């Protein structure tokens, strides 16, 4: 989701703002139906966009049930199995509702379900916090390619993808607007060429050549 633009083909929208509103409303109704109410439901969003989605779901659940739904966030940074493989990651914020999670139905909320490793880390983090009665998973997009036996209970959109494709969720709280974009990563050789061309063009402009002048 953090790919640089030169290494991507133009992305196309697969969900727009009205679609996201509709699927969150549907998921909220599914949670109420499956849980036979929402009295003991706790929503925990996985940073960053999962937190915003959890808050939106909590608002939808309150509209349906008339009761406020506890909502919080669950940082998984220190539980990731790839922590030692990359640069240091900034810690996000964990916020557990005042009544905790013991004996409650916890619904984890994330934007995209992919390999399943993020959710495995979330389950480990949750296990160190308390002992829920049950744990369920709600995601906006399931793009497949699971590496672990994890399945979402509530899915906004099942989106079959290839490994070369990218899924980017945009939410108003973080990005200024709502949408889900499907892009395709360029082969490494093409991406390198595109980045070199961009740098070269910037250099020519900086040297005094007009930005739209033909290459010589």
Residue 34 has pLDDT above 60, yes or no: yes
Is-contact 1 166, C-beta < 8 A? yes
Residue 141 lies in a domain: yes
Percent of the chain topping pLDDT 70: 78
CA 189 – CA 196 distance, rounded (Å): 11
pLDDT, one tens digit per residue, over 140-170 is 999 999 999 999 999 999 999 999 999 999 9
Residue 173 lies in a domain: no
pTM above 0.85, yes or no: no
Question: 71-73 and 105-113 as β-strands: parallel, antiparallel, unpaired?
Answer: unpaired
pLDDT, one tens digit per residue, over 52-100 is 999 999 999 999 999 999 999 999 999 987 665 566 556 678 999 999 9
Residue 206 lies in a domain: no
Average pLDDT, the chain: 86
Query: The domain that contains 21 carries what CATH number?
Result: 3.40.50.2020
Is-contact 101 42, C-beta < 8 A? yes
Count the domains in the chain: 1
- Enclosing domain of residue 121: 15-162
Q: Which is more confident, 211 or 93?
A: 93
Is-contact 134 163, C-beta < 8 A? no
Residue 2 lies in a domain: no
Residue 155 lies in a domain: yes
Q: Which is more confident, 200 or 140?
A: 140
Residue 19 has pLDDT above 60, yes or no: yes
Structure tokens at 105: 């139905």
Q: Which is more confident, 126 or 214?
A: 126
Residue 172 lies in a domain: no
Percent of the chain topping pLDDT 90: 74
Name the β-bridge partners of 71: 43
Residue 60 lies in a domain: yes
What does the H/E/C string look like for 87-115? CCCCCCCCECCCCCCCCCEEEEEEEEECC
- State the DSSP string of 14-71: EEEHHHHHHHHHHHHHHHHHHHTSSTTEEEEEPTTHHHHHHHHHHHHHHHHHSS---E
**In the prediction, which pLDDT does 186 show?**
75
Residue 57 lies in a domain: yes
Is-contact 137 113, C-beta < 8 A? yes
Is-contact 157 16, C-beta < 8 A? no
Give the mean pLDDT of 6-25: 88
């Amino acid at each position: 989701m953090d790919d640089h633009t030169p290494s991507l083909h133009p992305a196309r929208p697969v969900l727009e703002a009205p679609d996201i509103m509709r699927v969150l409303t549907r998921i909220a109704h599914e949670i109420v139906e499956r849980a036979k109410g929402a009295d003991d439901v706790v929503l925990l969003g996985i940073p960053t966009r999962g937190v915003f989605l959890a808050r939106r779901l909590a608002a939808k659940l309150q509209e349906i049930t008339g009761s406020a739904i506890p909502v919080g966030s669950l940082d998984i940074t220190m539980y990731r199995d790839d922590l030692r493989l990359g640069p240091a990651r900034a810690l996000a914020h964990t916020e557990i509702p005042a009544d905790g999670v013991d004996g409650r139905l916890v619904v984890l909320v994330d934007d995209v379900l992919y390999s399943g490793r993020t959710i495995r880390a979330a389950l480990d983090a949750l296990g160190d916090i308390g002992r829920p009665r049950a744990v369920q998973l709600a995601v906006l997009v399931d793009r497949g390619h699971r590496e672990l036996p994890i399945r979402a209970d509530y899915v906004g959109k099942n989106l079959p993808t290839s490994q070369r494709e990218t899924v980017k969720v945009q939410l108003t709280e973080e990005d200024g607007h709502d949408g889900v974009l499907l892009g395709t990563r360029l082969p490494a050789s093409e991406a390198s060429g595109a980045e070199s061309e961009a740098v070269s063009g910037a250099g020519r402009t900086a040297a005094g050549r007009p930005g739209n002048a033909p290459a010589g």
